[in-house]
Every structure is written in C-alpha cells, then in structure tokens.
Amino acid sequence: MFQRVNKVPLYVVASLLFGIKTYIVYRFLFNIELDNMMQEIILFINPFVSAFLVFAISVWLKEERQMKFIRYATLLGSFIIYFNLIFYRNFTDFLTIPVLFQGSNAADLGSSILALIYPGDILLFLDVVIIWYLSKKYKNTFIVSYQKRKKALAFSLSIAFLLGNYILAEIERPQLLQRTFDREYLVKNIGIFNYHVYDVVQQSKSKAQRVFADGNELTEIKAYMKDNTTDQSETDLAGVAKDKNLIFISLESLQSFVINNTLHDEEVTPFLNDLIDESYYFENFYHQTEQGKTSDSEFLVETGLYPLPSGAVFFTHGQNEYNSTSELLKDNGYTSSVLHANNKSFWNRDVMYDNLGIDQFYDIDAYEVTDENSIGWGLKDKPFFEQSIKYLQSLPEPYYSRFITLTNHYPFDLAEEDATIDKFDSNSKTLNQYFQTVRYMDESIKDFFDQLKESGEYENSIIVMMGDHYGISDFHDKAMAQYLDKEKITPYDHIQLQRVPFIVHIPGEKGKTISEIGGQIDVKPTLMHILGIDDSNDLSFGTNLFSEKRKEFVALRDGSFISNDYIYTKDQCFNRETGELIVSDQEDSEDNGEKTIDSHCEPIKEKVQQELTYSDQIIYGDLFRFHDFQNKNLESEENEKEQQ
C-alpha cells in the first residue's frame, strides 16, 4: 500500500495529519468566535502553515534522524495543544511563558486538573500513533535523501506560507502584533504555535525593561494619574471609619449574577441579599483580573495597579517596589494580616506578602485541617472562619485583616451534607454545582458575622467583601444562557458577567446601592477615603468610588472596557444600558453626521490602552523604586550623581 506513496515525504503526511487535528481543536474545542468568512479561512490555513513550517525542518537532517525528528515533533506539538486545551477549559485563555513558570502551583490544583481531563482526549493523540506507526513500519519507504533543490523548495514554501498567513491576518486585523491584550486574536490569526513564539519574544522584551529603566518614565505617568485617577475631594463618608478595624473578605469566584437571584424559587445568597440592604453595595462593579486570578485581585487591592497581561505579578515581579494598602495603613498605626487556609507558597504569597509589608500570614499551618472539615481546595469556609476568630482577637487594634475563602472554587465540589440548595440542571456540571458552593459560602459569611458579634470584634470594625474573579467562564455559555433565560450569551453579556459583588458594611451606617461603574482598581483609594487616611502621595490608577468625580471607564485587562454609556469588547461597541450593538452605515470617509463604532468607543479605547500600558511600564520597569512615597519624588540615580 505505502509503496505507492513513496514519493510523498513523511513530513508532508505529518503536516496534513497534525494540521487537521489542530484545526479540529481550534474549531470545536476552543470557543473561538469567527465573525466572517475571512476569519474562517485564516483559522483553517494557519494550523497547516505552522505544521509545515516545523516538520519541513526534517529535510535538512540526515536520513536516520528524519523519522525521529518527525515523531518527537508530533508528540511535543500534541502536548502543547493539549496543555493549552486543559488550561482553556478552566480559564478560557491560552498558556503564556509566565504561567508555565508558575508550575509550583500545579501540586495544589488537585481535583481542579482532574475535572478538566476528559476520556475522549485520548483521540487528540491519534495522529501521533499513526506517525509513529508509519515511521517504524515503513521506515525505508519514507526516508528520503533530499537534494539541495528540494531542501530549498521546502524552506521557501515554509516561509511563503508563513508570510501569506501573516498578510491575510494583517488584512483582517491591522496591527495584529501591536494589540497584545487579547490572546484569542493572536491564536485565531497566526496559530497557537506562532503565538507561543511571539509570547517568548514579548517576555524577553519585558525582562529587559527593568535593566534600561531610569525613572524618567514616571514623570509622564504621574501627570496622567494626577489628571485622570484618584480624586481627593471630600465626601460625607470621608473618615467615617477612622481608626476602625478593616476586615476584608475575598469571596472566591463569586459573580454578581447570583446576587438577588433565585434557583428553584430559592434565593441563592439569602444572607448577602439582606446584608446589602444595610451596606454600601456597588452593583456595577467589575473584576479586572487576568491569568493570576485570585492573586491578581489581591494585587489590585494592595497596589492600585493593573495585573499583567500574562502570568501573575505575584510570581513574575514579586520583588518589585510597591506602595501597598498594608504599608499605607501601617504608617497610620495598623497591623496587617492575611488569613488563608492554603500553602503559603501558592501564588508565591510568602514572598509577595513580605514585600507588600503584611505583618502576619496565617496559612494552612495555622488551621486544623481534617478529612471531615475539608473538600476540594482545602478547609471548608465555615470551619475556616470559625478557627480564624481567635486570630482576630489576638491582633492589636486597629488591624487590617484579609480573608481568602476557598470552598467556592472550581470545580465547585461540595459534600452532600453541606448542600442546602439543589443543583442546577444543565449540560454544565460546573455551573450545576456552582450554586451549591455559592450558597455554602453565603452561609459561612452569615456564621462569621455572628461570630464577630459574639466575640466583640464587630462594632469597632468595617467589613468589606469583594468577589475576586469570575467563577463560570464562557466555556459554559450554553448553560449560562439557559439559567439567565437567554437565547445565547453575547459579547455584551460576557462583559456584564464580569461583575462581582463589592460590599462595604459599616456598622451604624444605613448604606445604599450605588449604580455607578467601578472596578477592583478603585478599592485602594476608596478604603483610604472612608478610613480617613491621606494617600495624596500614593500612585494609583484607582478612583474613590464614593466621589462624584470619577474616571469615565473601567478597564478590563484584555482591553475591553465599560464606560458610563458604552461597553467595548472584541472590536464591538454596545450601548451599556440596552446591550444593543452600535452599528453605522459607514457610507464614506467624509463626515456625514453618521457615527461609526470607533467614533463612539475609540476615544475611550485609546485612554484604556494608555492606562494599561502605563501600569505595565511601572511593573516591568520596577519604576516605583525611583519614587519616595514618604516624601518627594526621587530622581534617577544618574541625575542624583549629576547634582552631587
């Protein structure tokens, strides 16, 4: 049989098989949106372009090495695709180099990883089996001694295909490689393997930024912050919680769609629903995390800077200089602590917390964890809060203590005896179980409030609660649409699902629901405002959420944004109130009074990209080492030497 195809080199066969497999993954296993026929064509050809580029290298090898190269290239490429698929099933995102360096977290993921592996995944390695079989069984048939002309032809075709792919991608998406906030666009247009090469280049460039930074970049950034971010004007709530303890609860994976909502005619979060009636509740508050998830939300709250577009700042830049919430509070007599029943090294917290000036970290070693009181990621929330009260009582006042919950974490497992609401019924096990763990967390918060009151910690404290990031990714859109009684989840709906609860409970204050937009970047200046702490020398991209003078947008890490009037995502501009897509006739290039999508959203989009870029510059360049947060600005070392 294969004697007839001995003129077809194995690298061509491997390119076809691997390209078909990759396209199937792109088209049916990744949730990649395709808006037109051009995108369909590009998505179809780029797997074959990448495969041919790699496998054609074999023509330059000696005959005995050709088969070995193709076999192992196929295996390695398959693992790259599969690891991306597992990551995508949880985060709807693609792996980056910094994420790979966070491999120390993998040992703690446990059931989360197992829940992402499906039996049918074995079929993704079918082409590997075929290639190994052909290269072993018909070795003499497929080994070819290539002439220089054929080697040059294979190389030329590889480059031509690559350039052709890139030209089509640029036509479809101008300045593709300059728009790095959205990894889906890169994978969709140049393929997952070329995306990884691009990622390596970008990470290498970012590593070099600190070496060449001299602090002069801060001048422009500080001017921007002064004009566009934190507002120092007084409000009725300025200093309302002065000298009170600050208890901050990070609500794991809690999204706002469950607040004041029901399942099976039961409230999903009955306690939080009642609590927001006597608290300040921000109903249009958005998480702004990226690949660092919970650690990114911590970073936002502590620094007022955005997380990085890839990886987790806690890992990649844990040794940088920051001016944290903990340090600001320490300067005003507070002690700080974090309570989290997980390994201290997870997300590099032991290193990062020390750098942020956090006085005490109560990690898993501070808790009694047994098989009975733990599930999934560890200690259940109810025993976690119960065991934590003694630590609060031991802290000198005033204190700032952050609690990080665990139970409402993917894959949302819960023991049957702990479930007090029935599961949802959909095609998504993840969403079905989510409501039960959310209810359990709600009950644990209720118990914690009772414990605070019984222990005497309640009256002299304010309790702030915030959802740290989404729990249900758009990988589960079909089930989410079923729950929300929608035909489908649109890009507009996806952005609205990034809302997370932000609740400020001040005993003795009536509170109210606030509808203005806000985000996690705004938490730091908001806390400083109600605690009556001067943060005039702080550098932050946040805005005091109680002020009437606010920034006009909330920026998400992928470049999407929410403004007072519009929502922008995936190159589409929506009316924020109605969800209607803003479309124009675009009749001609002259001003005919018709507004295009860009004329509505482009001005804000430019500001969003500028702000995200400024934040990246601060982190990559470690620019805060050139600023004295206690007094005046410091010049760069070179300028100091000149003055001397």
Q: Which helix (H) or strand (E) holds 295?
A: helix 294-303
22 given a catalytic annotation: no
Give the length of the chain: 644
pLDDT for residue 49: 92
Asked whether residue 641 carries a pLDDT value surpassing 50, the answer given is no
Fold of 217-626: Alkaline Phosphatase, subunit A (3.40.720)
Give the mean model confidence (pLDDT) for residues 213-238.
86
- At residue 206, the pLDDT reads 74
Pair 463, 538: CB distance under 8 Å: no
Position 368 pLDDT exceeds 60: yes
Beta strands in 200-324 (DSSP E): 245-251, 262-263, 266-267, 280-282, 285-286
Segment 514-524, tens digit of pLDDT: 999 999 999 99
Supply the pLDDT for residue 179: 57
Q: Are 254 and 438 in contact (CB under 8 A)?
A: yes
Catalytic residue among 22, 96, 229, 294: 294
Cα–Cα distance, 357 to 303 (Å, whole number): 12
DSSP-derived letter for residue 402 is E
The whole-angstrom separation of Cα 230 and Cα 549 is: 9
pLDDT above 90 for 9: no
The Cα–Cα gap between 268 and 273 comes to 9
What number of other Cβ atoms are within 10 A of residue 589's Cβ?
6
pLDDT over threshold 60, residue 88: yes
As given in the structure block, the two tokens for residue 14 are: 């491997």
User: What integer is the mean pLDDT of 115-125?
Assistant: 89
> How far is Cα 39 from Cα 399, in angstroms, rounded to an integer?
54
pLDDT of 304 above 50 = yes
Asked if residue 225 lies in contact with residue 439, where contact means CB atoms within 8 angstroms, the answer is no
Chain mean position to CA 421: 29
- Please determine, for residue 90, whether its predicted confidence score (pLDDT) is greater than 80: no
The count of other CB atoms within 10 Å of the CB of residue 551 is 21
Where, residue-wise, is CATH 3.40.720.10 in the chain? 217-626
pLDDT in tens, 541-594: 999 999 988 889 999 999 999 999 999 998 899 999 999 999 754 444 444 444
- Does 133 have pLDDT greater than 60? yes
State which H helix or E strand residue 303 sits in.
Answer: helix 294-303
- pLDDT value at residue 234: 78
pLDDT tens digit sequence for 241-294: 999 999 999 999 999 999 999 999 999 999 999 999 999 999 999 999 998 999
Gap between the Cα atoms of 280 and 259, Å rounded: 14
Kindly provide the b/e burial profile for residues 481-492, where b requires at least 16 CB atoms within 10 angstroms of the residue's own CB.
Answer: bbbeeeeebbbb
Q: How many CB atoms lie within 10 A of CB 426?
A: 16
Cα Rg of the chain (Å, integer)? 27
The predicted model scores a pTM of: 0.81
Question: 338 in helix, strand or coil?
Answer: strand
Calculate mean pLDDT across residues 77-93.
Answer: 87
Which comes out higher in pLDDT, residue 336 or 58? 336
Name every residue whose Cβ is closer than 8 Å to that of residue 262 and which is 6 or more positions away in sequence. 268
DSSP 512-547: EEE-S-EEGGGHHHHHHHHTT---TT---S---TTS
Query: Residue 281 in 3-state DSSP?
Result: strand
Looking at the chain, the whole-number percentage of residues with pLDDT higher than 90 is 63
pLDDT at position 105 over 80: no
Q: For the segment 467-503, what is each residue's pLDDT rounded down to a tens digit?
A: 999 999 988 999 999 999 999 999 999 999 999 999 9
- State residue 231's pLDDT score: 67
Max CA pair span of the chain: 86
Instruction: Tell me what pLDDT residue 142 has.
Output: 66
The whole-number average pLDDT for the span 324-339 is 97
Q: In one letter, which amino acid is 332?
A: N
Rounded to an integer, what is the distance from CA 373 to the centroid of its chain? Answer: 30
pLDDT for 589: 42
- Does residue 361 sit in helix, strand or coil? strand
pLDDT in tens, 403-414: 999 999 988 999
Look at the alpha carbons of 41, 42, 47, 49 in this order and tell me if their dihedral is positive or negative.
positive
Q: Is the pLDDT of residue 433 over 80?
A: yes
State mean pLDDT over 433-461. 97
d(Cα 9, Cα 24) in Å, to the nearest integer? Answer: 23
Q: Average pLDDT, stretch 235-245?
A: 94
- Burial class of 112 by CB neighbour count within 10 A (0 to 12, 13 to 18, 19+): middle
- In the prediction, which pLDDT does 598 show? 59
Contacts (Cβ under 8 Å, ≥6 apart) of 192: 22, 26, 50, 80, 81, 84, 94
Q: Which of 99-113, 374-388, 568-582 is least confident?
A: 99-113
Give the per-residue pLDDT at 11.
85
pLDDT tier, 173 (very low <50, low <70, confident <90, very high otherwise): confident
Q: What is the DSSP code (8-state) at residue 29?
A: I
Supply the mean pLDDT for the chain. 88
- Closest listed residue to residue 541, CA positions, set 467, 614, 602, 603: 614
Sign of CA dihedral 597, 599, 604, 606: positive
Instruction: Give 195-221 pLDDT, tens digit per residue.
Output: 888 888 877 877 788 888 888 999 999
How many Cβ atoms sit within 10 Å of the Cβ of residue 114?
9
